[in-house]
Structure 1
Amino acid sequence: MNMNLKILDFLKFAGNIKNTYYKEGRKMKNKTNIKEVKIMRKMIMILFFVVLSVVLIQGNADAKITGKACSTCHTMHNSQNGDAVDSGGPFSYLLKGYGSSGGTSCWGCHTDSSSAVNVDATIGAPLIEHAGTAADLAGGNFGYITGTIAVTSPSTTSNVGHNVTDTGVTDSSFTTNYPPGDEYSQTFNNTEFTCAGVNGCHGDRAATDEYTAVKGAHHFVDDMLKFGGINEATQAQTTGTNGTKVGSSYRFLKGVKGGEDADWEGAGLTAIKHNEYKGATSPVAGLVDTPGGNTISGLCNECHGNFHGLSAIGGSILSPFTRHPADIVLPTTGDYAGYTSYNTQVPIARTTIPTAASASNVTNATIMCLSCHRAHASAYPDMLRWDYTKMLAGNAATADRDTGCFACHTGKDGN
């Protein structure tokens, strides 16, 4: 919305009405008519302020953070009434410590190990670690790593997700060889793995710290990512401030396009209410900080490219594959003909993001990394979406048929 233009248009409109009545008033000698002109002037002024208030409200209604006082997140001097606002401060960008950890990193605002809900009641932040009473959000729950929630055997807390340093849990398998499948010889290990920045997934991966990586994004108006206003042309913008580039990207994953479910898939997840992910018909080469093809799998390739690039899967988008492919079209014949509607346990990506979450998989459906994995953590090894030990070819239990691997490979479960 261009607020200045809308106000200017209204002033022109009001001016035309006023001039018309003044002209009529000069021609009239009757005091009653002159009085009507004065009344009309008052009505115009009242209407102006009504329109102005509506414009101002609409202009701020779709920002990332709305309805919260600036002091919820920021402190000017880290001092109030002679005491420090935060004993560990001051922090970058005037941020306040928050949450049970008192941290200012992503972890501080987006985790609460004691919370029974999945969205913070005070600041409205989605919780990527919580007690598990409420449903896990789309990325999963870091609580499986921290021990807040029990994992499923044979899982351990160290092998069920991305072990970002804030979890306090490291995986001994990757103390030096991290991340697995890396094609760029990155030097960080899992004690340096962060949510955002050069050693993370969110924000600008060229930024050396989490604060700079997402700077400005929390205040960006992101209608182009919301259903009802989806516009891929203006998603993942490549010019402007860092806040613009990151804020216009799906879930602050710089360069990634998609459609964002309003409550992060935290409630009422169905075949017609879910995130929509950007996919491709063939893996697209990217860079260490740029996802190929603007796809969600392209983002994963920034760290795991030796697993998912075209050469890595066998050099072709056609079977046989040497590694399970991502960013290829999901076939609609043979085994795959049974995947006829969007499956929330085994989601697909699309080459074109629909204007509303869709149950149809027929149109431009593609396989992606998140078809099998959670982004943060799950109850199962390798942050899989389901229990891999129950995927018994030709002899799956009735309850496990058409689930997990068998959602796509429908002819392999013995059903």
Structure 2
Amino acid sequence: MLTTCLKRTPARMFAIRLVVIASILLWVNNSHAAYLAGNAKPFHNGGTGECNGCHSTGAVESGVPRRGNLLGSDASSTCLRCHQSTEGFQHDEPYQVATSGITLVEGIAPRNLTPGGDFGWLKKNYRWSGEGRDKEASQGERHGHNIVAADYGYSADTRLSIAPGGNFPSNSLSCISCHDPHGNYRRSVDGTISNAGKPIIASGSYNDSPDPDGLSTVSVYRMLAGKGYQGAPGVEFTADPPAAVAPSAYNREESSTDTRVAYGSGVSEWCSNCHGSIHDAGTGRATQHPSGKQGKLSAEVTYNYNAYISSGNLNGSSATAYNSLAPFEMGTDEYSVLKATANSNGSNKSGATMDSNVMCLSCHRAHASGWDSSMRWNVNTTFIVYDGRYPGTDNGAPAAIAQGRTSAEVKMAMYGKKASDFAVYQRSLCNKCHAKD
């Protein structure tokens, strides 16, 4: 009996191995399928996701060799396999940052409303007849960061060869120019950020994220890259990711309540990894708006922000002053404070304080928007609300104000906020801080 058992042991062990391997493959495939079905947060979980979610672990697909055996033809194409929304998307997949199927479709706006914006705006070109000028235009590539994603029709900026204020080459810009695809950067219990150390247990981006402890860390905000990261050949980051927290529900219309990301500190300093000299004096850009730690709000600006409701209405209060179209940095890296502030249900609408400061994202979106220079509102028109409505080619607004867009496109670019939230003839939201009108 013993001899018989021993003779059968290798076959049995081989069978056991097959069962184990099959179980692992089934788990990986099921896990990845669940991810593709809309569960990206667990996929990354703050760090490196499943390898075969981005890389081919077998033969190169279609016989086309790809760098790193990526599943897309380039880095951004690989990201957009999951981060571009499919047809019929209804704002229930929070991690989508690009809308599919809207190239050159007149009157149709990109659908994603994440705080960073929708890359689909890069494909929306607008032309109109201006006042006193033959033609006016708002080209799609001027609407944000022009990522290179060949599989999805995104290409490098044709006008800017390098990043304004820096030396980052435009033809190298991809999702992983800013985000570390393997999520190595982590925040420890003492607040320090590093790209190695104790294991990452979860994302650190949300108001319901766990806190790090003595045995674990959490990912930095949005898996952004930090010091020492090579964003492109010859471009090494010198600043770590900012202290920031987003609400867990963030890809949504803001018709009733704002989506408030609690920006704590370090946003503009992180942007300087690629745009280092854009705010420096003596570089030809000395007139650029102050930003970052050097852009603390004065007493006058703090008062203006909190009092300003709309053009001609300065009857607001600091308790309800926040507007996601003009966010500010809070001037803190205390995550307990940031988590208590970030929300999408209107639970915290508090305005600016003397600790607050202007940051790059006070006026711009990180990815793209419906407006030139990735602005949060249209700075190239006199009125952003005209005769009580969002101006559009479909409602009789002057061409110089509608600027080739339908009123529905304007509303989406304003994140679904109601036109009635503003004055009947609402001017630029620069006035939220400067209160000129």
TM-score by length of 2: 0.54
Partner of 2:219: 248
Would you say the 8 A contact 1:230–1:259 is kept in 2?
Answer: no
Is 1:278 aligned to residue 264 of structure 2? yes
Question: 1:264 corresponds to which residue?
Answer: 250
Aligned-partner SS, 1:299: helix
Alignment of 1:344 with 2:324, yes or no, is yes
8 A contact 1:348–1:366 mirrored in 2: yes
Counterpart selection for 1:373 from 364, 375, 380: 364
Q: Which amino acid aligns with 2:300?
A: T
Query: For 1:277, what is the secondary structure of its paired residue?
Result: strand
Match for residue 388 of structure 1? Answer: 379
Q: Distance in 1 between matches of 2:184 and 2:126?
A: 32
Partner of 1:307: 278
The equivalent position to 1:106 in structure 2, one of 50, 69, 79, is 79
Deviation at 1:225, TM superposition (A): 3.3
Closer, same or farther in 2 for the Cα pair 1:408/1:306, shift >3 Å?
A: same
Query: What CA deviation, in whole Å up to 9, does each residue of 1:51-75 have, x standing for no partner?
Result: xxxxxxxxxxx99416999698278
CA distance in 1, matches of 2:75, 2:173: 19
Counterpart among 312, 316, 341 of residue 356 in structure 1: 341
Q: What does residue 405 of structure 1 align with?
A: 430
Superposition deviation, residue 179 in structure 1: 0.9
Given residue 223 of structure 2, which amino acid in structure 1 is its aligned partner? F
Q: Distance in 2 between matches of 1:301 and 1:276?
A: 20
Instruction: Please state how far the C-alpha of 1:119 moved relative to its aligned partner.
Output: 5.5
**Structure 2 residues not aligned, in runs of 5+:** 1-38, 103-108, 129-135, 187-194, 226-240, 309-317, 343-347, 389-422
Distance in structure 1 (CA, Å) of the matches to 2:127 and 2:424: 20
1:138 equivalent in alignment to 2:115: yes
Shift of 1:307: 1.7
SS at structure 2 position matched to 1:258 = strand
Letter of the 2:243 partner, please give it.
K
Shift in Å, 1:142: 1.0
Question: CA, structure 1 residues 64+409, in 2 after alignment: closer, same or farther (shift >3 Å)?
Answer: same
Alpha-carbon spacing, 1:74–1:338, altered in 2? closer, same or farther (3 Å): closer
Amino acid aligned to 1:180: P
Distance in 1 between residues matched to 2:251 and 2:142, nearest whole Å: 24
- Cα separation, 1, equivalents of 2:118 and 2:85: 11
Matches of 2:87 and 2:277, distance apart in 1: 38
- Indicate yes or no: 2:170 matched with 1:195: no
- What letter corresponds to residue 179 of structure 1 in structure 2? A
Aligned residue for 2:357, secondary structure, equals strand
Deviation of 1:305 after TM superposition, in Å, equals: 1.8
Shift of 1:406: 1.5
Structure 1 pair 379–77 and aligned structure 2 pair: CA distance change class (3 A): closer
User: Structure 1 residues 230, 371: CA separation in 2 closer, same or farther (over 3 Å shift)?
Assistant: farther
* 2:142 is aligned with 1:159: yes
SS in 1 for 2:201: coil
- The higher radius of gyration belongs to 1
Residues 12-91 of structure 1 aligned to structure 2 (within 5 Å)? 64-65=41-42, 73=53, 77-78=57-58, 86-87=61-62
* Cα distance in 2 between the residues matched to 1:303 and 1:313: 17
Q: Which amino acid aligns with 1:359?
A: K
Q: Report the secondary structure of 1:221's partner residue.
A: strand
Is 1:298 paired with 2:289? no
Asked if the contact 1:112/1:129 (under 8 Å) is kept, the reply is yes
Equivalenced residue count is 293
Counterparts of 2:70 and 2:185 in 1: how far apart (Å)?
A: 13
Matched, 1:329 2:296: yes
SS of residue matched to 1:325: coil
Q: What is the TM-score when the length of structure 1 is the normalising length?
A: 0.56
Per-residue displacement from partner, 1:129-163 (whole Å, max 9, x unpaired)? 3454634211111111134x869963101211111
Following superposition, the deviation at residue 191 of structure 1 comes to: 1.9
1:154 corresponds to which letter in structure 2? Answer: A
Q: Please report the RMSD computed on the Cα atoms of aligned residues, expressed in angstroms.
A: 4.7
Using CA pairs below 8 Å that are at least 6 residues apart, which structure has the higher relative contact order?
2
Task: For structure 1, list consecutive stretches of 5 or more residues without a partner in the other structure.
Answer: 1-61, 204-209, 280-294, 315-320
Find the aligned partners of 2:183 and 2:64 in 1 and give their Cα distance.
Answer: 17
Residue identity opposite 1:366 in structure 2: N
Other-structure match for 1:225:
205
* Deviation string, structure 1 residues 81-119 (Cα, Å, up to 9, x no partner): xxx8x4367877886559xx9976223221247453455
Q: Which residue of 2 aligns with 1:169?
A: 155
Distance across 1 between alignment mates of 2:51 and 2:258: 37
